[in-house]
Amino acid sequence: MASSSVMYISLLMIVTSFLMVEWRQLTGAIYTYQAQSVLIALTFALYAHSLHNPALYFWAVTALVSKGILVPWLLRRYVDKVHPVESEPMLNPILSQVIGFTVVTVVFWWVFTNHDRLVVLPSLAGEPYRMNLAVAAAILVIGFYSLLTRRDAFKVAIGLCLLENAIHLSLVSLAPSIPETAMIGVVTDVVISVWLLLYIIANVYRVTGSVDTFNLRNLRG
């Protein structure tokens, strides 16, 4: 049972990542981000259950509070203040989806089929579903893709969140024994960095009247 639910959750996580990048209505993208964070918390809880590692329930709670509640709330606050529709991306939507989908499929397939060779850590060998690393890698790639191809500064911030989600997700396979205190430190950093980034973007909007990063090209050379 747990195995098939992990499968569905993994699939949903990849779908939500795509939606976050492609959905040009920023509020929608933020809700999707929230949904993905809840899925991550669920994954942690499932791992806690199947690995008999109660510390991971705590991870689920931290992920839920920080990424499920705090970060989406911050994103909403700043996006509502500015403007809710993403500025024109660099690629046209269909091309963007095709490229994104191809890249992600290749990465996912490669990590998934080479999972046993990529298991460089003893702790990874005990990973029950052999799926998590591939999902994390796929989300990481989508995050980078979003950072590289989007012009809207808020979309870039969402891409950064996606990147952080991927790393957070990979931690459960790489190092499930990280103590709670260190985890809280890491999560606090993530929340503050997103907050500051949004604060700076809001200031950029206040001064220049736009959040298009193409306008941020005064500093060259």
Residues within the interface to other proteins (CB under 8 A): 120-123, 147, 153, 156, 160, 163-164, 167, 170-171, 174-175, 177-179, 182, 185-186, 188-189, 192-193, 196-197, 199-201, 203-204, 207-208, 213, 216, 218-219, 221
Q: Which two tokens stand for residue 117?
A: 């060779």
Residue 12 or 119 with smaller CB distance to other proteins: 119
The number of C-alpha atoms within 13 Å of 126 and in the hemisphere containing its C-beta is 12
Nearer Cβ to other proteins (97/170): 170
- Quote the least distance from Cβ 41 to other proteins, whole Å: 19
Three-point CA angle 139, 140, 141, nearest 5°: 90
* DSSP string for residues in 116-173: HHH--SHHHHT-SSS-HHHHHHHHHHHHHHHHHH--BHHHHHHHHHHHHHHHHHHHHH
Rank residues 8 and 214 by Cβ distance to other proteins and give the closer one.
214
Q: In this complex, which beta carbon is closest to other proteins, that of residue 41 or of residue 168?
A: 168
Least separation, in Å, of the C-beta of 48 and other proteins?
15
8 Å CB contact between 133 and 127: yes
Alpha-carbon span 215 to 168, nearest angstrom: 32
Distance CA 135, CA 120 (A): 17
Please report how close the Cβ of residue 207 comes to other proteins at its closest, in angstroms. Answer: 5
**Closest separation in Å from C-beta 56 to other proteins:** 12
As measured in angstroms, the least distance from the Cβ of 18 to other proteins is: 20
Q: CB-wise, 31 or 60, nearer to other proteins?
A: 60
Structural contact between residues 106 and 143, judged by C-beta atoms closer than 8 angstroms: no
Q: Mutual orientation of helices 153-174 and 180-208 as an angle, nearest 10°?
A: 170
Nearest distance in Å: CB 42, other proteins:
22
Closer residue to other proteins in complex, CB, 91/119: 119
